Amino acid sequence: MKFRLFVLLLIFAGPKLFAQDSVAIDTTKSEKTTPKKKTSVKIIGVEIGKKDSDSSSKKVSSKFSFQLTFSRIDLGLATFLDNGSYTLSEENSFLENKQFKTSNFGFEFLQTGYRFNSYFKVYLAAGLDWNHIRLKKNVTILPDQAYLKAQPEAIKFDKNRFSSNYLRIPLSFQFRTKDDDKGNKVYFVAGPEVGFLITGKTKQVSDERGKVKFKDDFNFNPFRYGGFARFGYNGLGVYVKYYANDVFADNQGPKDFKNINFGLMLGF
């Protein structure tokens, strides 16, 4: 319930939170007109009051940046390809999932980059990324196994979730347009991404056992790599991510089992 409230808050407040609106302070103390001054304040990587679009009057100089941030917040779905097919083989059928409850969530908290001009920037970021697989079948994914195994259960689970958590490190190439009449931009961002496994986790809820959680690596690939693309307007957009190597480590789980994530994002 708390997660759903957090998602709703992000959806309704996100575009306002990540919009960089100009704040002008009128310092006029008499009827004489004096130039207005602008203040610039940085709050967790979001700069308020100074916009790169000011380049119309003064050319923006190329510069490096390093900042804490809370951006590229992904709220989407996770899906999987088994030897190129969305239909899982009989051997891997224990991984069948409820598509619209199999989710991807992530965000970035650190970035450093170089802006070449008002329209192009390259930056390296760090963040966290989760995949939550809602299993259809009443099985238990077993920990501490040389090869990924699932044990069939005689009970019915109200929730049977199989999750992975990665540190994600994307290298982004950002292109953006000039400001429109509302002072907003269109963004396109793409690049490669690597990830390092933090942990795997299972969570089961049933009348017979109550709530049961267990952490293990569950044979997830300790290192993953792939590419991503993001497209949007102002602070809201869509994203897609594809990981080129297998979800599970070599010889420890299904072979040629790939992951694709897609959905909405907040904060360029």
153 alpha carbon, distance to own chain's centre:
33
Element at 194 (helix H, strand E): strand 186-206
Give CA–CA dist 264/238, Å, rounded.
Answer: 4
What is the structure's pLDDT at 26? 43
pTM, full prediction: 0.79
Element at 209 (helix H, strand E): none
Give me the residue label for tokens 């009051």: 49
The two most distant CA atoms of the chain are separated, in Å, by: 83
Burial label for 244, CB within 10 Å (0-12, 13-18, 19+), is: exposed
What is the structure's pLDDT at 34? 47
Q: Which two tokens stand for residue 201?
A: 């986790």
CB atoms within 10 A of CB 208: 9
What sign does the CA torsion over 179, 184, 186, 188 have? positive
Which amino acid is residue 21, in one-letter code? D
pLDDT, averaged in runs of 10, over the chain (268 residues): 48 48 40 45 39 44 88 98 96 97 98 96 98 98 97 96 98 97 96 98 97 98 98 97 98 97 97
Record: fold of 67-266: Porin (2.40.160)
CA distances from 197 to 129, 153, 167, 191 (A): 10, 28, 6, 20
Number of H helices, E strands in the chain: 1, 15
